[in-house]
Amino acid sequence: MKITLQNIGKRFNREWIFRNISYEFSIGNKYAILGTNGSGKSTLLQIIAGAMSQTEGEIIYDSEITSETLFKEISYASPYLELPEEMTWREAVRFHGKFKKFVSEFSEEKIISLSGLESSADKELRNFSSGMKQRARLSLAILSNTNLLLLDEPSTNLDQNAVKWYQNLVSEFAKEKMVIVCSNYNKEEYSFCENTLVMGK
């Protein structure tokens, strides 16, 4: 799997957030998109995910990937991504597994165990703390059987123990994936990345 950005630019109203971004991402490699607030890194991640269109330039995926099949290749986690809060954590895992398989065909119980949220499995997500919700988001994304893993400021709302949990989960279950992490220069979020793209230089 390969993703190529050719002179990508994004404008909101009359203001350009960024322009002339050219870069290539390939399967099995880990990338960090770095920048300060407002540099456009999260916007670029949404463009790569197909959730937003660019104003100029072109994004090229492998020939076997189409706009209809792209969602099957992508897992995405962001602290701003809504969860089905009326569901319990167990129900959310079960629901997610109906449209996106988990790595190694893991069972519902295995996902709950790996999330570290076993004691809250039957609690509604609306009653989770912000840190627990972020664990839930990251668990569903990292443990999905996809080729592309997109993480937007993944350590948001995580304490130090949870940050270590996140790093271990990526290390163990995203070895063969293309991983792209957006970060505001928070090294603990992207310490495993070999490549960096700096926005707003």
- Indicate which CATH number applies to the domain containing 29: 3.40.50.300
Question: Which pLDDT score, from 0 to 100, does residue 201 have?
Answer: 62
61 pLDDT above the threshold of 80? yes
The DSSP bridge pattern shows strands 2-12 and 15-26 to be antiparallel
Mean pLDDT across the chain, nearest whole number? 94
The answer to whether residues 29 and 197 touch, using CB atoms and an 8 Å cutoff, is no
Q: 34: which 2 tokens?
A: 């770095």
Name residues whose C-beta falls within 8 Å of residue 138's C-beta, 6 or more positions apart in sequence: 77, 151, 154, 166, 169
Q: Where does the chain have alpha helices with state H? A: 41-48, 70-73, 89-99, 108-115, 130-142, 160-173, 187-190
Provide the pLDDT confidence category of residue 1 given band limits of 50, 70 and 90: confident
The answer to whether residues 147 and 1 touch, using CB atoms and an 8 Å cutoff, is yes
Other Cβ atoms closer than 10 A to 65: 19
102 pLDDT above the threshold of 70? yes
| Nearest Cα to Cα of residue 44 among 19, 70, 69 | 19
- Which has more confidence, 124 or 13? 124
Backbone angles phi, psi at 150, to 5 degrees: -110, 125
Instruction: Give the Cα separation of 185 and 20 in Å (integer).
Output: 22
What is the widest separation between alpha-carbon atoms in the chain?
Answer: 49
Question: Which H or E element spans position 59?
Answer: strand 56-61
The DSSP bridge pattern shows strands 148-152 and 178-183 to be parallel
The answer to whether residues 102 and 115 touch, using CB atoms and an 8 Å cutoff, is no
Question: Which pLDDT score, from 0 to 100, does residue 63 have?
Answer: 65
19-30: pLDDT as tens digits: 999 999 999 999
Count of alpha carbons within 13 angstroms of residue 79, beta-carbon side: 13
Name the amino acid, one letter, at 14.
R
69 pLDDT above the threshold of 80? no
| Nearest Cα to Cα of residue 141 among 78, 191, 195 | 78
Q: How many domains does the chain have?
A: 1
Question: Which pLDDT score, from 0 to 100, does residue 20 have?
Answer: 95
Domain that holds residue 152: 2-198
